[in-house]
Structure 1
Amino acid sequence: MTLFRSTRLLLAGAALAALATPAFALDGTDLVNKITAAMALEPGNIAVASVDVTGSTVTLKGMSVGDNKGGERLKVGDVKLQGVVALDNGSYTIEKAVFPDVNVTEEKSTFQISDMYLSGVIIPADTKAGTIDSLLFYQKAHSGPIRVTVEGKEVMSVTESTATTERAEDDSGLNFDVAVNGVKADLSSVNDAQAKETIDSLGLTQIDGTITMKGSWEIEPGTIDLEEYAFDFKNVGRLNLALSLSGYTLDFIKSVQETARATENTADPEAAKQAAGLAMLGLLQQLTFNSAEISFEDQGITKRGLDYAGKKQNVSGKQMAMMVKGMAPLMLAQLNMPKLQNSVSAAINTFIDNPRSLTISAEPQNPIPLPMLIGAAQAAPNTLPDMLGLTVSANE
């Protein structure tokens, strides 16, 4: 999250560039105002020591990011903008925004990231238009290798990360695709004896996999379809989440931004927190739940987990599996959900006998307003399975 948040701020900083050629001069103030409005930032959040222009390439030297309250600022460094163009409609495009490498050391830990850039950037002319043209857009966000070392030993790394967005031909929405490749973690240096035993027993000493996300957003109804949000790790398994919500409109986003801004500008933190909570409850009225699915495809972690749990109980993995199958109905009976109890028990038995896949799906007959769903969860949780159209299956 820190990486994505930093990328967001760096993109906003790129808007401070001023482009000059013999034919025309870019209005840097106008550009700053428009990018600030698009990113819900305030004037002064981003500062540069100087701006160097060579043709259509603009170098922002000594960029820093921070608030306007005198706090510590994040030193970004020199940012190079390539192919900056001011369009007749008042919007701006940047062919490529290249950010400096990061190499930060604190005590015994070092964080490094390189080859960061955004391409195909469009800065809107009017953020209040209420259309796709009012959004700050980029075609691709990229980062190269990421490395985290502790006392000189690499404990986590990422080979490459990319995020791409594509506008629908009729400008009705966006498609997005994110891939984080070569995610590796070395947990061999964990010092806690109990944690180390668990990690070794589950075969998690060396983790290697990918994280992917795919989906779409229809702007007018505000329908977010997260088709895939998957964590796929070798010798562990693939966990995937799919979710569909409606009501995430441009007006909704604007209201959230205004609420956050009002909270930041309130002198009394406790009052601000309470006001923000009430405001968010009101905003939730606009969201509806369409469907969701959680699935897991096993690659060995289940058997190792049963063996480890059985070892703790002085039984074998097979005996532990029988214990889980026997305890599941008793635990589910306490939920007072007979239909769900039967299907979940059957799915658990099937999965434990032959761990391949386990899927939990929620497909209500009609979209459910989010406040109604929250209210049911608090007042009558046993009604949720029928309300959500909840099903559980294994090895399908």
Structure 2
Amino acid sequence: MKITKIAATMLLGGVATAVMMGQANALEAQAFADRIIEVYKTIGYDVTLGEATLDGDTITIDGGSITVVSTPEAPMETMTFDTELTFSGVVENADGSYMAESLTIPDIDTDFAEEPAGHLSLVDIRVDGFYLPAGNPVPAIGLMQLYENFSTGALSITRDGEEVISIDSIQAGSTFNPQHGATELTDLTSNFAVNNITADLSTVSEEDPSAGAVIEALGLTSITGNITGDLSWSMADGHMTVHEFLLDFADVGALNITTDISGFTPAVLDQIYAMQGAMTAGGEMTEEQSQAQMMQGMAIMQGVSIIGASVRYDDAGLAPKLLDFFASSSGADRATFVEGIKAMLPGMIAETGIPALNDVIVPPVSAFLDDPKSLEVKIAPPSPTSLLVLMAAAANPAGLISALGLAVEANTAAPAAD
């Protein structure tokens, strides 16, 4: 009899323990989900999530919704998803932050429009090193480290059953020094790639016949290419260099944007996030409040300086086609059409009221029109120059050109790869 009572007591104790553990697991899973909501709210995402459940160190969340909020007056449309989110290898750190080894999402295969019928499929969606920093407000250092790597497999978008856009894969990743999830960073590097983009533009004419005619005349009914980028960022002095943001399409051309700035520190980012939070949470602002926000923004950015920047276009066949097309449309041959544009350039610049632009723009643009190879607009101040100084210099456009070190170059050799 005594043994039976002991066994019953142990059984009841085990059941009670299991119930308590189940409650603790649900609470921990929900705490993880709540932290996702809080962290992403800081960067402008209004997130709702479905039920969160815990199994070992795996947390599963059953769907949710995301709204990108700009202002209280103009929030963007909410995107609802019923997809299961699986976070594997979840660890809660002593400071209240979370790290998951990976986040995986089931392949997407869904219709998104009825007329014309639109369908999207995306496979192999994965995030490695998913990080939720601690802190309230969430510090910028943490927000820089939300993931180590993001990747997908093939993306396909069809219109009435015909594929109009396809991408082989998407990849984005960062390397952190000293390590991912550190509360103090020295520097980071980031890169991304959208690989083997193919776009069928032949159906544009169904929506816009005039645009479709131009696309067909230029031989652009199908284009292929890649989009890539990489940057490096030092925390102590806020030196950020965008080494490449490149859109490169075969038989069309390559557009590359680079920037080099200093003073863009985590402290500056913290102030920007705080100001954005006040803007979205404070309701409609008065004119005085808007002016105060603008002054605050200027004060935040006063330590940010421009070292240099450039926008470069390397032609791969588009420019000659455009010149031929517009020449034919005007009833002239290409040489006559180009000479006409070159003759008009000084007058067009004169209308800006900035005569100093004439020497900067006319010679290189004329050279590009004669032989379209490359065209680049660069700024390179004599020394790093703050944004506020440049804004003040804008009162004297000629002085601003000098302060920026503005230059336009045509048909120069492409910079050597790092």
TMscore range, shorter length: 0.7 to 0.9
| Contact 2:29/2:52 (8 A) holds in 1 | no
TM-score by length of 1: 0.82
Q: Which amino acid aligns with 1:264?
A: T
Q: Distance in 1 between matches of 2:129 and 2:45?
A: 24
Report SS of the residue matched to 2:335: helix
Q: Distance in 2 between matches of 1:391 and 1:82?
A: 51
| Contact 1:31/1:92 (8 A) holds in 2 | yes
Deviation at 1:186, TM superposition (A): 1.4
Q: Kindly provide the CA deviation profile for residues 252-297 of structure 1, in whole angstroms up to 9, marking residues without a partner as x.
A: 2222222222222233366676665454344333432221111111
Matched residue, 1:177: 191
Matched residue, 1:85: 91
Q: Distance in 2 between matches of 1:49 and 1:130?
A: 27
Q: Which amino acid aligns with 1:58?
A: I
Q: Distance in 2 between matches of 1:187 and 1:43?
A: 32
Q: Does 1:163 find its partner at 2:179?
A: no
Report SS of the residue matched to 1:45: strand
Matched residue, 1:154: 163
Report SS of the residue matched to 1:322: helix
Deviation at 1:337, TM superposition (A): 5.3
TM-score by length of 2: 0.78
Listed as ranges, the matches of 1:64-79 within 5 Å are: 64-65=65-66, 74-79=80-85
Q: Does 1:267 find its partner at 2:283?
A: yes
Q: Which amino acid aligns with 1:49?
A: E
Listed as ranges, the matches of 1:1-396 within 5 Å are: 27-28=28-29, 31-32=32-33, 34-41=35-42, 45-53=47-55, 55-65=56-66, 74-88=80-94, 90-102=96-108, 103-108=110-115, 109-126=118-135, 132=141, 135-169=144-178, 171-189=185-203, 190-191=205-206, 192-268=208-284, 276-335=293-352, 340-377=357-394, 379-396=395-412
Matched residue, 2:14: none
Segment of structure 1 superposing worse, 351-360 or 301-310: 351-360
Report SS of the residue matched to 2:99: strand
Change (3 A) 1:263 1:230: same
| Contact 2:356/2:398 (8 A) holds in 1 | no
Deviation at 1:90, TM superposition (A): 4.4
Q: Distance in 2 between matches of 1:233 and 1:169?
A: 37
Which has the higher Rg, Structure 1 or Structure 2? 2
State the aligned residue count: 373
| Contact 1:65/1:73 (8 A) holds in 2 | yes
Segment of structure 1 superposing worse, 42-51 or 281-290: 42-51
Report SS of the residue matched to 2:336: helix
| Contact 1:115/1:143 (8 A) holds in 2 | yes
Change (3 A) 1:360 1:267: closer
Change (3 A) 1:181 1:130: same
Q: Which amino acid aligns with 1:47?
A: L
Q: Distance in 1 between matches of 2:197 and 2:391?
A: 35
Q: Distance in 1 between matches of 2:361 and 2:112?
A: 49
Q: Which amino acid aligns with 1:242?
A: T
Report SS of the residue matched to 1:204: coil
Change (3 A) 1:217 1:155: same
